[in-house]
Amino acid sequence: MRKVAFFSLLVAAITAFAYSVTLSSVPFHPDETAWINMGKDVILTVRNPMQLAYDPAKGLVDDGEVALRLLNGPIAKDLIGFSWLGSGYDLRDLPTDWRWDAQWGGEYGALPGPGLLMASRMPMAILSGLAAGLVFLLGRALGGNFTGLAACLLYALDPLVLVHGRRAMAEGALLFSLLLSLVATVELARRLRRRPRWEWLWNIMLTALLGGVIAFAISSKQTNAPVLFVAIVACASAVVRRPGVRTAESLTRAGVIVAVLVFACGTVFLLLNPVAWRSPLRTAGAMIAIRDIQTRAQIESVIADGRPQDVLTTVGSRAVAAVDNSFGMPAFWDVPKYAEYLEPQREAYYSFPLTRLLREWPLNVGLAVLCVLGLLASVARMVKTPTERDAEGVLIGWLISAVILIVVAIPLNWQRYFVSALPPIWFYAALGLGVVGQSARGLLWRRG
């Protein structure tokens, strides 16, 4: 086990280093300006965090900073802020806010300087790189060392991760925290299913720790919230499936596990989110309300820009967009009017090797076929030996959650909104490679 842990750490360190030293090649996204400016909240977090708390008495006033705190988790912006502060930058170096109704931000000082941009990108690049070690661990739990290595390579070289995961935005923290939550859920589910009952107190403590990890994930990006339900189902079913335990006792213990998990997640989430400290329940309502307001405003803006095709109004359109964005080439901008400014950066980025890997026809079709083969193999394993497939259950649980999230909550055809749906691709494609390899070996053996 020590060798596995060491190898995963080695993979994480190498990938994080590789991601970091090539940061300057990633094309700029205007939202990076907003996230860099949001990073100044770390100063208030240290000095007087109650200034960040939402005040229900004021309601949803027309205050962009309040809206951003309600819309976005604090982890990414705080890490970005600590990074540029630690690199010697201060409030005087921050760009002005990006105005989406205006032309290119360089015309009015909304472009961050190169040094500030690289410092702000660094924590997201490191987190995205460290996630490679987590991918190996979860892949190994699914299908052994080959699956772990294959999934790790597919992740580390994924063109979508190389773009979205290394910008000064939330996607790097999203991927790392989501994968950490999935790995931790698998490990705890295995322990709950296998360990003797006299270790019950230790299991409770580990469950609370998992709740904290999931709270970290949700605080990184609110679209990670469904991972809590995946963990609830996985851990509760692991307790119920323990052999030699009476049904009533199993259900009681499962209820305790779920209660501890939810309580720990809620408590840590509250601690990590100063915006909710004044009135947690009313802040939750404000988060939902401001999300609806923002969604409507984005849809109106997209239609006003003459791009009604980017508004996803049906289940079918969202399914097509999910497939296109998950298996297609990276999208470098959301607003076409900025294309003329970003096109030179895009062309320069594509001059680097592997930046189009498995995302162009026909290789992206091959990737999709591998995913289907891997999914079918995973389901077959679960049917054959359901009590020993914790990793398969967690992964397919996240796949289902991601599909529901896309159908219910993704209104626009913007690729970065679909990043949370990427993990099943790496793992099922890796399992699919194993299926192809086994078939090829069987064919060669019969011919021999």
pLDDT for the residue numbered 401: 95
- What is the Cα–Cα distance from 153 to 174, expressed in whole angstroms? 19
Looking up tokens 């015309």 gives: 107
How far, in Å, are 81, 153, 227, 407, 409 from residue 75 at the CA level? Answer: 10, 27, 17, 26, 22
pLDDT tens, 371-426? 999 999 999 988 888 767 899 999 999 999 999 999 888 999 999 999 999 999 99
Report the pLDDT averaged over residues 66-70. Answer: 89
Mean of the per-residue pLDDT values of the chain? 92
- Nearest Cα to 80, choosing from 155, 181, 171, 179? 171
pLDDT at 247 over 90: no
Which pLDDT does position 442 carry in this prediction? Answer: 74
**Residue 154 reports pLDDT greater than 60:** yes
Report the pLDDT value the prediction gives residue 179, as an integer from 0 to 100.
98
Locate 4 and state its tokens: 């596995």
Interval 217-243 mean pLDDT = 93
Helix (H, G, I), strand (E, B) or coil at 311: strand
C-alpha distance from residue 67 to each of 59, 194, 247, 268, 299 (Å): 11, 46, 48, 22, 17
Residue 448 pLDDT more than 60?
A: no
One-letter identity of residue 226: P
Q: Which residues contact 369 (CB under 8 A, 6 or more apart)?
A: 432
How far does the chain reach from its first CA to its final CA, in angstroms? 37
Band of pLDDT at residue 196, cut at 50, 70 and 90: low
Give me the pLDDT at residue 353, please: 80
State residue 361 phi and psi, 5-degree precision: -60, 135
Answer for the pair 208, 266: CB distance below 8 angstroms, yes or no. Answer: no
Q: How many CB atoms lie within 10 A of CB 258?
A: 17
| Nearest-5° Cα angle at 395, 144 to 208 | 100
The string of pLDDT tens digits covering residues 273-332 is: 999 999 999 999 999 999 999 999 999 988 988 889 999 999 999 999 999 999 999 999
Give mean pLDDT, residues 24-46. 93
Confidence of residue 120 (pLDDT cuts 50, 70, 90): very high
What is the per-residue pLDDT for 84? 97
Kindly report which listed range (167-181, 254-268, 333-347) carries the lowest average pLDDT score: 333-347
Judged by DSSP in three states, 357 sits in coil
Contact 53, 370 (CB under 8 A): no
Q: What is the pLDDT of residue 416?
A: 93
CA dist 207 to 47, 213, 225, 247, 261, Å?
Answer: 32, 10, 17, 21, 6
- The residue that leads in pLDDT, 354 or 235, is 235
pLDDT band (50, 70, 90) for residue 66? confident
Distances (CA, A) of 130 to 10, 153, 216, 342: 9, 13, 16, 28
Separation of alpha carbons 412 and 68, rounded Å: 19
Dihedral pair phi/psi, residue 311, rounded to 5°: -90, 120
Spatial contact of 12 and 133, defined as CB atoms under 8 Å apart: yes
Main-chain phi, psi angles of 89, to 5 degrees: -95, 155
